[in-house]
Structure 1
Amino acid sequence: MSSYDLIVVGAGIIGASCAHEASVAGLRVAIVEPGPIGGGATACSMGHLVAMDDDPAELALARYSLRRWETYAGLAAAEFSRCGTLWVARNDSELASIAPRIARLSASGGTAHAVDAQTLYQLEPTLAPGLAGGMLVADEAVVYPPRVAQHLVQCAQQRGARLYAGRFVRRLGRASASLDDGSLLSGPLLLATGGALPRLLPQLPMRPRKGHLLITERYPGVLRHQVLELGYADSAHGTADSSVAFNVQPRPTGQILIGSSREFDVEDRAVSPAMLQRMLRRAFQFLPVLQQLQGLRAWTGLRPATPDGRPYLGAVADHPDLWVAAGHEGLGVTTALGSARLLIDLLLGHTPAIDPAPYAPTRALA
């Protein structure tokens, strides 16, 4: 039996961040990952570092995490690109929602400003005509999440963490985990397995939320900012069985990443031509130039969604030495670093920088 101060199960962006923070704190860490580092939902994501202001708890975690992301602005492996986020309004009604959003972002420590229609088209000349204006959050960025996860795991290993690559947890014990090869690991457990959490911890509800993305060939200069419709949150936080929203991203390579779609309880990872077409039609309405570009590849991923949309971060009631960090839906990359710091602070008995109560797993068991 091998003993550790913390056994991190899962090495996506959340698990990798937690392992890194634990190693920085001087803990003896084991990392158990059956597949490639950052190869699950992390590899399928857009990597947009964005503060969503619809839920105060979500905003607090995002802002806390975005400050920590600044550490990686100069890391080549992160492919950090400060393209900014441009939210576009179709009409006066959506335009009227901008001032309250700016106020919420400002109160949380963020900076955003409204842009009129003329400025909107100066920022992104290829947008569809007739849009009313928008909101620019200039300091937001994009990263390449799998590389960041790999970097964080490597940093943890340099501090002595042991990676159990290609292994999965067959059974949880009391402060122990049995692996598929018969190995037994002893120590507090942190489950960072995303949508696979119910396999080990079925009492915490989690639903898969399938999403499609498509990436184009290289077209440098076509797009400058990550551009989303102001109604994006209606899709991201809605309860409809399926939805699409306009969300496009310029990659540092010159390629354009096009999203986004959401489907509840669809675990088939195959690309759905009907859903892909629906998503692209939405994108073409806002950015007609996309119709002239050559698509290179489409893929899907499964976002881990909790019933209330907030992640589980903290100890599991009535399970000594069992912790969980999972259920971030579409904001796992943005909130990974903040989630990890918050959780390791809780584990060590330190007072976290933000209130942990909204993310406590106990809320799902009440």
Structure 2
Amino acid sequence: MTADVLVIGAGIVGAACAAELAARGLRVDVLDAHGIGGGATAAGMGHIVVMNDSPAELALSRYSRDLWLELAPCLRTRDAFARCGTLWVAEDEDEWQAARAMHAAFDAQGIAAHLLDARELHECEPALAPSMAGGLRVEHDSIVYAPTVAEWLLTRSPGASHICVRPGVAVRSVDAACVTLADGERLSAAHVVVANGLRARELLVALPLQPKKGHLLITDRYPGVIRHQLLELGYIKSAHHACGTSVAFNAQPRPTGQLLIGSSRQFDTTDPVVEMPVLARMLQRAARYLPMLPEMNGIRAWTGFRAATPDGLPVIGPAGEWAPGVWLAVGHEGLGVTTSLATAKLLAAQMVGDTAAIPFEPYLAARFGYEVVHE
């Protein structure tokens, strides 16, 4: 036994779990088939956002955003943390009413947010189409470059001396206190944590994880065009589509002056290729909100796969009947960066028997009855 905990996955969730466990004095080995900060961590936008599609999502995302704000002073320039805020944009009266409802929900929880009418919205973000009905600005939402933060957590965080990272190590199988590598080597530890996103299905075939493919595009440098992370109010509905292809407006100002444009969701493919019809549809949607977008130079597009559960919440805690004795931190869909730090806190609290800051029951695997099998 070389470690107290074996963590499979060196993305932002696995890195956060390793750092939290190491900070508690546990020796942690992190195994990843590729390297630090790959997979969905490298493909995503790095938006740290409070979401309120359900009480459990609100509790987890808010708790984790607070943890990110605490961590921010420790991060480096290269980690590109910026408290830019989120601006939810209402295109019409129905979405304006949705913004009002979101504001009421946030206000009830003490989350700083402000309604903007059409004039205030235009003053706040002049590049938006003048036809927009208004918006909701959430003050402390942020952005970060997650791949480098994963590296910081594993190599520079307070417990990093207790962490050993083994890149290029593929895991073939797991059980309660042991993992078997692709080359047949067996490693043992008191605890095994599976935190490698969609690849977790290769180790635990019964996990109810479904891939959601997404496209992103980054532009050339256009400093100051937008100041907030911009999302349409229809994004929440789009994010939880259960089939087909959907797009929604999502734009992020990068510290470099570039714009990162999203987003799309597909269920009918696991092909990582950039699909031009989907990308075109996504950009056409974005141009309704940012009319100057077609005049900008897009320099790169790519895709990634979110690991989604049937109810949109991650699985954090014991794998139960799926793999007795194994721990899970998977299924974060598009909120892996946002909820990574809170995931680590909840997992560690369960593992060592501490009290968690928020209830962990909504995220347990047992809620699925261990009967859901992904086909």
- Tell me by how many angstroms 1:183 deviates: 2.7
> Aligned pair 1:334/2:338, yes or no?
yes
What is residue 178 of structure 1 aligned with on the other side? 180
Q: 1-side partners of 2:89 and 2:277: how far apart?
A: 26
Secondary structure of the structure 1 residue equivalent to 2:7: strand
Secondary structure of the structure 1 residue equivalent to 2:246: strand
More deviation, 5-14/234-243: 234-243
What is the correspondence of 1:147-158 to structure 2 with a 5 Å cutoff?
147-155=148-156, 158=160
The amino acid across from 2:100 in the alignment is: A
Q: 1-side partners of 2:64 and 2:295: how far apart?
A: 37
Secondary structure of the structure 2 residue equivalent to 1:223: coil
Note if contact 1:20-1:155 (Cα within 8 Å) is conserved in structure 2.
no
What is residue 93 of structure 2 aligned with on the other side? 92
| TM-score (norm. length: structure 1) | 0.97
The alignment yields a C-alpha RMSD, in angstroms, of 1.3
User: Which runs of 5 or more residues in structure 1 are unaligned?
Assistant: none
Secondary structure of the structure 2 residue equivalent to 1:266: coil
What is the correspondence of 1:28-177 to structure 2 with a 5 Å cutoff?
28-74=27-73, 75-76=75-76, 77-155=78-156, 158-177=160-179
The amino acid across from 1:28 in the alignment is: R
What do the CA deviations read for 1:17-41 (whole angstroms, capped 9, x no partner)?
0000000010111100111211110
- Tell me by how many angstroms 1:103 deviates: 2.0
> Of 235, 245, 250, which aligns to 1:232?
235
> Of 192, 198, 213, which aligns to 2:216?
213
- Tell me by how many angstroms 1:257 deviates: 0.2
Q: 1-side partners of 2:129 and 2:192: how far apart?
A: 50
The amino acid across from 1:25 in the alignment is: R
Note if contact 2:175-2:325 (Cα within 8 Å) is conserved in structure 1.
no
Q: 2-side partners of 1:315 and 1:73: how far apart?
A: 30
> Aligned pair 1:287/2:290, yes or no?
yes
Q: Structure 1 residues 180, 34: closer, same or farther in 2, change over 3 A?
A: same
> Aligned pair 1:307/2:306, yes or no?
no
- Tell me by how many angstroms 1:192 deviates: 0.2
What is residue 327 of structure 2 aligned with on the other side? 323
What is residue 349 of structure 1 aligned with on the other side? 353
Q: Structure 1 residues 3, 321: closer, same or farther in 2, change over 3 A?
A: farther
The amino acid across from 2:344 in the alignment is: A
Q: 2-side partners of 1:296 and 1:122: how far apart?
A: 29
- Tell me by how many angstroms 1:301 deviates: 0.1
Note if contact 1:63-1:109 (Cα within 8 Å) is conserved in structure 2.
no
More deviation, 184-193/317-326: 317-326
Q: 2-side partners of 1:68 and 1:167: how far apart?
A: 30
User: Which runs of 5 or more residues in structure 2 are unaligned?
Assistant: none
Q: 1-side partners of 2:110 and 2:79: how far apart?
A: 24
More deviation, 294-303/65-74: 65-74
The amino acid across from 2:28 in the alignment is: V
- Tell me by how many angstroms 1:56 deviates: 0.9
> Aligned pair 1:195/2:194, yes or no?
no
Note if contact 1:72-1:78 (Cα within 8 Å) is conserved in structure 2.
no
Percent pairwise identity = 49
Secondary structure of the structure 2 residue equivalent to 1:238: coil
Note if contact 1:11-1:33 (Cα within 8 Å) is conserved in structure 2.
yes
Q: 1-side partners of 2:324 and 2:91: how far apart?
A: 51
- Tell me by how many angstroms 1:252 deviates: 0.3
The amino acid across from 1:173 in the alignment is: D
Moved over 4 A (4+): none
- Tell me by how many angstroms 1:250 deviates: 0.4
Secondary structure of the structure 2 residue equivalent to 1:362: helix
Q: 2-side partners of 1:108 and 1:270: how far apart?
A: 41
Query: What is the number of residues matched between the two proteins?
Result: 365
More deviation, 268-277/237-246: 237-246
- Tell me by how many angstroms 1:104 deviates: 1.6
- Tell me by how many angstroms 1:174 deviates: 3.7
What do the CA deviations read for 1:296-347 (whole angstroms, capped 9, x no partner)?
1000000001111110101011444310000000000000000111111011
The amino acid across from 1:221 in the alignment is: G
Secondary structure of the structure 1 residue equivalent to 2:165: strand
The amino acid across from 2:123 in the alignment is: Q
The amino acid across from 2:265 in the alignment is: R
Q: 1-side partners of 2:17 and 2:107: how far apart?
A: 28
The amino acid across from 2:166 in the alignment is: Y
Q: 2-side partners of 1:173 and 1:118: how far apart?
A: 58
Note if contact 2:33-2:168 (Cα within 8 Å) is conserved in structure 1.
yes
Note if contact 2:208-2:309 (Cα within 8 Å) is conserved in structure 1.
yes
Q: 2-side partners of 1:85 and 1:174: how far apart?
A: 41
